[in-house]
Amino acid sequence: MKSKSKGAFIISIFLLTALLTIAYQVQTSNGFSWPHIDRSDGKAPIAVSGDNVYVTWWGNSSGNYEVMFKESDDGGQTFSDKISLSNSINGTSVEADIATSGDNVYVTFADNKTGFADAYIITSNDNGKTFNPAVLLTDNTNSTITNKTYMAQMNYDKAKIAPYELKVAADGDNVYVLATGANKNSTTYEPDVFLKVSNDSGKTFGKDINLSQSQGIISDRIHIKALDGKVYVTWWDRNLDGSDTPLMKISDNGGQTFGDKIILSSNSSDTNIGSTSNS
C-alpha cells in the first residue's frame, strides 16, 4: 500500500514539474512579446481615411476568440459583412488594434497558436476588401530557461502585472507597431516599451527597439501616433516608490532615432531624461 502511495506521489511531482516548466517556457520569450494571452478587456478600435471606416475587435461567438473586421466606404452608413482576420482554430486571438494610410489597412493582434503569445500584423492594400497573409512580429526561437528552480517557475503566475499591450500606427509607407514586453530568458516579467518599424507598408520589419529602457521598473499603458514623418510614443513607468510617471518620446525622422524621455507630469520646462538612440 505504501509503495503505491509513494509511486502516485512521484508521478504527481513529475506532472507538476512538467506543467510548471511548460508555463515558464511561455514566459521566456523575446522582448516584443508577453508571458501569456489574456482574453479580457475587449475593445473595438477604429481607423478612418476619407469615407472609409474600419473597425476591428475580438470575440468568441464561435466558441473560440478570433479577431474580426468590418469596413465601410460610405462614412459608416453601411458596413460589409464581418470577416475573421485571425482564423486561428487552435489558438486564442485577442488584443487587436488598427491603423490606415492611403489604401492600406493594418491590423495587429496577439495569438497563442504556436504555444507562445505571439504578435502578428495583417495588411490590406485595397481598403479592407482583401487581406494579405499575417506577418509574425515576434521571435521565440532559442528561448531557454535561465533559472530552473521551483520558486522561479512558481512565480510565473505572478509575472503578469497588467495585460500585455499592442498598438499600431501608420504614416505613408511607414508602419509602427508598439508593444510592452520583457527580454528573452529573463526570470521576471518587468515589461519595457518596444517598437518595430516597417518602411515598406508592413511587408518587413526591423529589429526591436527598446524605447523605455527602464530596468527593474514596469513600463506599460502605451500609446502611439504618427504624422508627417514624426512618431509620438507615450507610456507610464511604475516607480519603485509606488508612484506612476507618464513619459513620452518623439522621433523626427520616421522612427529611426528618438529624443530623450520627456516627463509629462513635471511642471518644469526641463523635462528631458538622458540621451538615448536606437543603436
pLDDT at 91: 85
- Pair 45, 68: CB distance under 8 Å: no
pLDDT at 274: 56
- pLDDT tens figures, 46-62: 999 999 999 999 988 77
- Pair 80, 89: CB distance under 8 Å: no
pLDDT at 218: 87
61 pairs with which residues across the strands? none
Comparing CA positions, the residue from 150, 207, 151 lying closest to residue 184 is 207
Using a 10 angstrom Cβ sphere, with 0-12 exposed, 13-18 middle and 19 or more buried, the burial of residue 4 is exposed
Distance CA 260, CA 50 (A): 34
227 pairs with which residues across the strands? 230
179 pairs with which residues across the strands? 166, 194
Distance CA 152, CA 146 (A): 10
> Considering the domain 2-273, what is its CATH architecture?
6 Propeller (2.120)
Domain residue extents for the chain? 2-273
* Residue numbers in the chain where pLDDT is lower than 50: 9-30, 143-163, 275-276, 279
pLDDT at 158: 34
pLDDT at 178: 95
pLDDT at 254: 96
Q: What is the pTM of this model?
A: 0.79
pLDDT at 22: 37
pLDDT at 123: 98
SS3 per residue for 34-51: ECCCCCCCCCCCEEEECC
